[in-house]
Amino acid sequence: MSQFPIRRMRRLRRTAALRRLVQETHLVPSQLVWPLFVCHGSAVRREVALLPGVYQTSVDEVVKDAERAQRLGLGGIILFGLPAAKDATGSEAYDEQGVVQQAARAVKRAVPELLVIGDVCLCEYTDHGHCGVIQDGDVDNDASVYLLGKVAVTQARAGIDIVAPSDMMDGRVAGIRKALDAAGLSRVPIMSYAAKTASAFYGPFREAAGSAPQFGDRQSYQMQGGNADEAMKEIRLDVDEGADIILVKPALPCLDLVRRAKQEFGSPLAAYQVSGEYAMIKAAAARGMLDETLAMWETLYAIRRAGADIIVSYFAPTAAELL
């Protein structure tokens, strides 16, 4: 039974002012986190070929981006490191003089109020490119968790405000919590990449971070994309192990997981609009296939509408500038 002509949905769409009044989903810069890639050297600012507008920067340059993030009122930055040398156990990841630790100290000195998140993983630092240490051809879970605890402690000591494990080892939130607490760092929150699927959309990131696996793939630790119940189980485990913020990744292919996670856990919830999601829009826009800015807004608002409180995105500074 149609209510037309009593009910006309277009009435509230007629002008920009009306549309603004009834807008349901809002986005503010403090909900956006900007991923940054930091490398050794000085005055380095190298654009990542697959990610226009994303750079590998040395510590002095990352400080400039941090100052920009602070000016824009972003929620924070998340740091990924490109080590001077890679080895079997990814030792620069937990070196007090590691590139992320140096960057954290420099950023904290220059912009103390800016929230700095540290990505806790080994894949950028290992010569084999996997997110943990290898034993008998596969990633050894518990040995990796031990090292991840060391990564978190050295990052937190360097001033990192939130540690964000992205490795998908079992028990790593509990392991990292224990390591932090034992080091007197019980105040440092953990944002866990709780549900992270083995996704093709991480492709461009692996160029940016130099972290492509040298053999095999990540399917023995990252989740199968089609499994939603398993994703909820993964998140529950991380919440029970002490995760303060949970993160779902990638974002657009997992909007249903974002929605379910928000409903089932009520925890602060982040979603990561990953490199491939960004690159796809950039590439299509460069070929005149779509409007980049409109596509950016549409995706960011969709992620918010699904239930994400926090969005990690390479669009963060661009979006904040326009907000």
Task: Scan residues 8-27 and list those touching ligand PBG (CB under 6 A).
Answer: none
How far does Cα 36 stand from its chain's mean position?
A: 10
| Torsion angles phi and psi, residue 83, rounded to 5 | -75, 165
108 is catalytic: no
Tell me: does residue 274 bind ligand PBG (CB under 6 A): yes
CB of 303 to ligand PBG, least distance (A): 14
249 is catalytic: yes
Place of tokens 């692996």: 206
Which residue in 64, 86, 178, 196 is the catalytic one? 196
Task: Scan residues 119-158 and list those touching ligand PBG (CB under 6 A).
Answer: 119, 121, 123, 131
Tell me: does residue 166 bind ligand PBG (CB under 6 A): yes
**CA-CA distance, 37 to 18, in Å (whole number)?**
41
CB of 196 to ligand PBG, least distance (A): 7
Q: Which is nearer to ligand PBG, 107 or 120 (CB)?
A: 120
Our CA dihedral for 53, 55, 59, 61, rounded to 10 degrees, sits at: -40
CB of 82 to ligand PBG, least distance (A): 13
Instruction: Using CB under 6 A, pick the residue from 55, 202, 221, 315 that binds ligand PBG.
Output: 202
Place of tokens 């943990």: 132
For the residues of 148-170, what is the DSSP string, one character each? HHHHHHHHHHTT-SEEEE-S--T
CB of 70 to ligand PBG, least distance (A): 22
Tell me: does residue 299 bind ligand PBG (CB under 6 A): no
Q: In 3D, which of 57, 54, 63 has the Cα closest to residue 41? A: 57
**CA-CA distance, 34 to 117, in Å (whole number)?**
10
In the complex, which residues of this chain contact ligand PBG (CB under 6 A)? 119, 121, 123, 131, 166-167, 202, 205-206, 218, 274-275
Residues with a known catalytic role: 196, 249
